Structure 1
Amino acid sequence: MRNHPANQTKVRCFGSKAGLTAEATVLLKDGEEPLAALNLEVAPRDGERINWKSKIVLQLGEDDLPLLCCVCLGYLPKAEFKRPTKGIVVERQPNRLFISATQGSGNCYALPLPIAQTFRFGALAMAQLKKQSGVDDDNLLLASLRGAAALYQC
């Protein structure tokens, strides 16, 4: 049951107005092998608790995960992950990453990730990218990310 959602690697971060869960997962496509991915869940704070029932969820797959890693590594200042009705922006700011998520009209949740949380978040994203790409050479992976970042237009 290693692949059961309860057993997947997670990073949880909490801000004064919202919370974030980044969770290792797999992307399932018909007729293809499962592909390592990362789920981002951003939810508003309701007093002392995070209201996970109101969360905005985005799955980052083969097109998105390299961009997230580029931001975490400092190769890009920000990346936007958009779907038809929702989106998440991850942006570098002094001493932190800043995450904002929107869905529909009026649903906007945001939180800063201090350096320690940024480290754990970035390490999880890189671990999933390494699984996804099948690249075992860390130097090759980093060089590929630098090259991809040079092409990105936000």
Structure 2
Amino acid sequence: MNETRGTTHPRDHFEISTLVSGFFRTMDERRFDEGWAGAYFTDDLRTTTPLGIAEGADAVRHIEEATGRFAATLHISSDLLVRAEPGARTASASWNAHMTHVHLDSTLQARGENANPLFTVGGVYEAKLRRTASGWRFSHMSVRAVWTTGEPPVLPAETATRVAKLTGAQAGR
């Protein structure tokens, strides 16, 4: 993302930074109560992840399901860059993320006694945002892994097959 210095109002940067931090905290604390997504996303949210593309309610469900594949997670964001013209209704943002995932006991049991309990990812998020009556909300969010350590979670068969087709990887890991 190219950022032009001096165009983003400090208030917009602060509000978007708070949105990013709140979203990560919600995932880590698993606060997926009814209506949680309205605090972070537009109704037409589109997500792009290593597991594919999802839109609307499916994108929200995908986030909840992906988080639920782990016993615990910790997402840390840094180097937030925001581009929003003063008074604009749209913005773009990118940030680095360090994401640590603790595998479920069932994953560790499936992999055997020497299984690594952690799957760690260093990645980059890119987002498009819209200013709504309730504040800034993500309308598109993508994450790209730059590096990983450990193994990803054991995926349901249908998801593993879809990922294998997308990535050319072996299904069923």
TM-score range, shorter chain: under 0.3
Q: Which has the larger radius of gyration?
A: 2
TM-score, normalized by length of structure 2? 0.25
TM-score, normalized by length of structure 1? 0.27
